[in-house]
Structure 1
């Protein structure tokens, strides 16, 4: 079976769409306190189109929830910003009990995280990381993630994997900055190496081109010389043939029927 294509029109920025949806919650959080902020967190975790939460985590009123009665709400918001569904399953007591909508959103975000690690994700890995029991439910979840603009790609049902073209960028912790900078530095170095290789190939191609041009010029000159030589030779041959015909000597007569002059000296006189 051929891969099932689920490509969609490439967005200008997956992240910008999520940021735009988050703005209203950031504005509300700036004027809320305590319980109101905790309820706001529950709402944002279920809100469609909101898949990044870093800006909300930076709001002072939200930061105040890190300790106290609503610390669980704060940890759950951190989970959606940086964590995966597997983190939730392994530490359920640390977080709020998620609704089905929130579970699905966290599973979608987990797919986005896995897509940053490898572009072809086997079904076996996804089944384990998302705690899904059968392939049909997994494929439905992946298709939902594609239509939610979490990832863009296609299902390869024959090879049992999802091939990701582009994925939503998730929030990054401050301590991740060094690793991100290293990745970008490696990418820049790789680009520089490719550019240098391209330059060398261009120089080599130009060198071969110049040699080919010079060789062609030599051949063209030889062709011109040969043509001139053949033309001159042909003209000389034509001129020599005409001159020999005009200056040829007349043929001598054979002299048949004539008596030799010397014979009269041998005649007898009477």
Structure 2
């Protein structure tokens, strides 16, 4: 039971795996039937591993080369190539035909993100736009491609392909070159980002230093103002204290009581001054 579950899991993750396993022992008619099932089964869209199996490779130069050629076409070719080489290939069933047409759309999507209907009609050998749009919609729902139909401009706009096709052995160098160029572009972008980060950190440090300096200046100004306010208060207090003392002294003198003897002397003195003045006036009149 555990072995069956493991097999089901492997098959689910890689639909081609079951055919690769069977190809290890398949010979003769079994190998031919295996090829037909592989190109017919939904979800099996890559075939490179199967082509590499020794029992399948034996078909390439034998009397059953059409099976090898057809499997090779599904791995790397297009529907238009099928039409041009029918005499060397198997007759396709409707299911196989539709799968190859879907794979052809994937190939076209790797070359252009906007594929005109005219190109698709020619490559897929479809006579009217309605049938073409139905085929594209099926490919989108099957996650073979992701995009939308632009009916106004009569084109298919592709966002990305939901699956990849096999790479021909001779194309490995091209793929490696493309990946290398992409890696260099990523390195350049990363270096630019690092420079921007360093510049941003430097600006942040400058701003922080400037902020600290302003805060220190504000603190110093506050201390100076507080010191000035304290000194002025002491001076005002001293001035107020001196004025009050003088007033108190003056009022104190006015409030001192005059002794009785001093009052009599003052009155006597006034009388003498008054008498003297009157005598002088009388003498002058005489």
TM-score range, shorter chain: 0.7 to 0.9
- What 5-or-longer segments of structure 1 have no aligned partner? 1-15, 253-260
Relative to structure 1, is the Cα distance of residues 73 and 218 closer, same or farther in structure 2, using a 3 angstrom cutoff?
Answer: same
Per-residue CA deviation, residues 63-108 of structure 1 (Å, 9 max, x unaligned), is: 1111232111211110000111122123322322222111110011
Choose from 212, 215, 223 the match for 2:210: 215
In the alignment, which residue of structure 1 is the partner of 2:99? 105
How do 1:145-224 residues align onto structure 2 when only pairs under 5 Å count?
145-157=139-151, 160-224=155-219
SS at match of 2:14: helix
Q: How far apart are residue 118 of structure 1 and its match? A: 3.5
Q: Aligned with 1:247: secondary structure? A: helix
Say whether the 8 Å CA contact 1:34–1:70 is kept in structure 2. Answer: no
Q: C-alpha distance in 2, partners of 1:29/1:132?
A: 35
Q: Could you tell me how far apart the structure 2 residues matched to 1:17 and 1:226 are?
A: 79
Larger radius of gyration: 2
- TM-score normalised by structure 2 residue count: 0.75
Distance 1:242 1:155, change over 3 A: farther
1:200 Cα offset (Å): 0.5
The residue number in structure 2 matching 1:236 is 231
Q: Does 1:37 align with 2:31?
A: yes
Matched residues in 2 for 1:106 and 1:168: separation?
A: 13
- Give a deviation string over 1:22-45, Cα, whole Å, max 9, x none: 222223333333333223222221
Structure 2 residue aligned with 1:64, among 58, 64, 69? 58
For residues 118 and 230 of structure 1, do their structure 2 counterparts lie closer, same or farther at Cα, with a shift above 3 Å needed? farther
What is the CA–CA distance in structure 1 between the aligned matches of 2:89 and 2:62, rounded to whole Å?
14
Report how many residues are paired.
Answer: 246
Q: Distance in 2 between matches of 1:132 and 1:219?
A: 76
Indicate whether 1:51 and 2:38 are aligned.
no
> Could you tell me how far apart the structure 1 residues matched to 2:22 and 2:69 are?
19
String of CA shifts for 1:219-239, please: whole Å, max 9, x gaps. Answer: 101111121122222223332
For residue 110 of structure 2, what is the aligned residue in structure 1? 116
Q: Is the 8 A contact 1:21 1:49 kept in 2?
A: yes
Measured at CA, do residues 240 and 123 of structure 1 come closer, stay the same or move farther in structure 2, by a change above 3 Å?
A: farther
Deviations 1:123-180 (A, max 9, x none): 4443333233333323322232233332334445555433323431211121111111
Describe the shift of the 1:207–1:82 C-alpha distance in structure 2 as closer, same or farther (beyond 3 A): same
> Structure 1 residues 234, 128: closer, same or farther in 2, change over 3 A?
farther
Cross-structure match for 1:91: 85
Query: Which is bigger in relative contact order (C-alpha 8 A, separation at least 6)?
Result: 1
| Secondary structure at the counterpart of residue 16 of structure 2 | helix
CA distance in 1, matches of 2:43, 2:25: 22
Bigger fraction of residues in helix? 2
Give 1:54 deviation, angstroms.
Answer: 1.0
Give the TM-score of the pair, scaled to structure 1. 0.79
Q: State whether residues 56 and 62 of structure 1, in contact with CA within 8 Å, keep that contact through their aligned partners in structure 2.
A: yes
Compute the RMSD of aligned alpha carbons.
Answer: 3.0
Aligned pair in 2 of structure 1 residues 208, 120: CA closer, same or farther (>3 Å)?
A: farther
